[in-house]
Amino acid sequence: MIRVDRKLLEEVASDEAFNAQACFNCGTCTALCPMGLEWLPRELFRYVLLGAAEKVSALTEAVFSCLLCRMCEAQCPRGVRITHNIRTLRGYLVKNEYRIR
Ligand code: SF4
Ligand code: SF4
């Protein structure tokens, strides 16, 4: 069962540049990632849009492993601001996973 976390949904809703909803799960980003971050960002974005905070937390290591190199973003056919979205999620995880303000 997935527990929906309102804090996660509010965090991304308050960020006007966060556009994970544009992702249509094509997999181009996964194929290009030099870090081999399988399913990041597309799996991550699905969980975020569902408010599935526990699933997002389980991907914390991958979120912080991302180099923010933008190789995926440059080829994304939907113009998803992948690195911006990942930065937003890092902020959320730092505040909510590590309780750092
Ligand atoms: S390349 Fe863009 S649209 Fe395709 S899965 Fe990745 S983020 Fe989604
Ligand atoms: S920005 Fe992150 S997810 Fe995208 S290709 Fe670079 S390391 Fe991979």
Please give the distance, rounded to the nearest whole angstrom, from the Cα atom of residue 68 to the centre of ligand 2.
Answer: 5
Q: Is 70 in the pocket of ligand 2 (CB under 6 A)?
A: yes
Confidence (pLDDT) at 49: 93
Which mutation among 23, 28, 30, 33 tests ligand 2's pocket best, with the greatest number of atoms within 8 A of CB? 33
pLDDT at 101: 58
Q: For residue 72, give every residue at least 6 positions away whose Cβ sits within 8 Å of its Cβ, in sequence order, or none.
A: 28, 29, 30, 32, 33, 41, 82
With bands split at pLDDT 50, 70 and 90, how would you rate the model's confidence at 41?
Answer: confident
**What would the pLDDT profile of 53-87 be if each residue is shown by its tens digit?**
999 999 999 999 999 999 999 999 999 999 999 99
Measure CA 101 to chain center: 20
The Å distance, Cα 42 to ligand 2 centre, comes to: 11
pLDDT of residue 40: 84
Share of the chain above pLDDT 90, in %: 76
Residue 28 scores a pLDDT above 80: yes
